[in-house]
Amino acid sequence: MPYKTSAMVRFALRLAYDGTDFHGWQRQEPPDSDPLRTVQGELDRVLAEVMQQPVNCQGASRTDAGVHAEAQVAAFSAECRIPISRMAAALNARLPDDVRVMAAWQVPSDFDPVGDALSKGYRYEIAQMRPFRARLPFDRRTVYPAQHDLNIARMRAAARQIVGEHDFAAFAHAQHGRDSTVRRVHACEVGTLPEDRVAIDVSGNGFLYNMVRIIAGTLVEIGRGRIDPSAIGAILASKDRAQAGPTLPPEGLRLRWIQYPEDRAEPRDAPVG
């Protein structure tokens, strides 16, 4: 049944975006210059137009500049005067082409897209570049080109050791801004895709600043033979960022899914954009 009300209601949106031309998810408004272009900033602007009131949305993941999303979840509260069945289409008609609302649904008034998330899944995608083989031009936005062969067996052996609850200080940016660097990684898998692609899939209950990109960078160094797979335990124990591999560029990373409790998750019949 179409939903119309003048009361304050909480909604969730599933978003997909190409992060190349955004300064990340989180709104950034430097005091001495114009606001930077962010996904949250664009979404808030359009939500205010559609809802005809100021709106401040919250995102489940603060993706960095250049990082993509297939299933970011954002929540906001507003006095909604349009049917929820039309919400995604109304927002997409006003949003720029590099961000889309894929679905919209109503959630409990206390829904927290960050705190209620049970697990998040990211993928880092790599292209193994062969000699004299040109890179596909559209890959430049979504795939990291590795200029060397990768030993997948070595990478898989190392990835298994990342699974579990650990202190991931060695796999986080020095300015991660968190009180605790302990996180639980539910899965870390290295798979192969067509066209010499490698996919590193990582899921967990939460991630530190740059954590997935550093995990990917460390696994690439292991695949190249520059770090031994058995070193993962020592790297974790060191809590020293310098012991892990490099932070790979943002273009290869995308947020693929977020899991919520059933009463807060996207329903199967949620209106889509």
Tens digit of each residue's pLDDT (9 = 90 or more) over 95-112: 999 999 999 999 999 999
Rounded-to-integer distance, Cα 238 and Cα 19, Å? 33
What are the DSSP E strand ranges found in 80-223? 99-106, 119-128, 144-146, 164-167, 182-193, 197-204
Q: Which residue has the higher pLDDT, 31 or 233?
A: 233
Question: Per-residue confidence at 198, pLDDT binned at 50, 70, 90?
Answer: very high
Q: Once rounded to an integer, what is the mean pLDDT over residues 124-141?
A: 80
pTM of the model: 0.92
Percentage, residues of the chain above pLDDT 70: 96
Q: State the pLDDT at residue 262.
A: 95
Within a 13 Å sphere around the CA of 203, how many CA atoms are in the beta-carbon half? 12
Q: State the pLDDT at residue 137.
A: 80
Which of 179, 170, 12 lies closest to 101 in space, CA to CA? Answer: 12
Answer yes or no: 64 catalytic: yes
In this structure, of 8-12, 29-33, 69-73, 85-89, the range with the lowest mean pLDDT score is 29-33
* All domains in the chain, ordered by first residue: 8-116 (3.30.70.580), 119-256 (3.30.70.660)
223: pLDDT strictly greater than 80: yes
Question: Per-residue confidence at 2, pLDDT binned at 50, 70, 90?
Answer: very low
Q: State the pLDDT at residue 234.
A: 98
Q: What's 77-118 look like in SS3?
A: EEECCCCHHHHHHHHHCCCCCCEEEEEEEECCCCCCCCCCCC
16: pLDDT strictly greater than 50: yes
Q: Once rounded to an integer, what is the mean pLDDT over residues 22-40?
A: 94
174: pLDDT strictly greater than 70: yes
Percentage, residues of the chain above pLDDT 90: 82
Choose, from 34, 64, 149, 240, the residue flagged as catalytic. Answer: 64
End-to-end Cα distance, the chain: 17
Q: Which two tokens stand for residue 112?
A: 């927290």
Q: State the pLDDT at residue 132.
A: 59
Q: Which residue has the higher pLDDT, 172 or 136?
A: 172
Q: State the pLDDT at residue 131.
A: 64
3 state SS of 34 = coil
- CA quadruple 246, 251, 253, 254: dihedral, nearest 10: 160
Q: Select the highest-mean-pLDDT range: 128-137, 155-164, 262-271.
A: 155-164
Question: Per-residue confidence at 178, pLDDT binned at 50, 70, 90?
Answer: confident
Mean pLDDT for all residues in the chain: 93
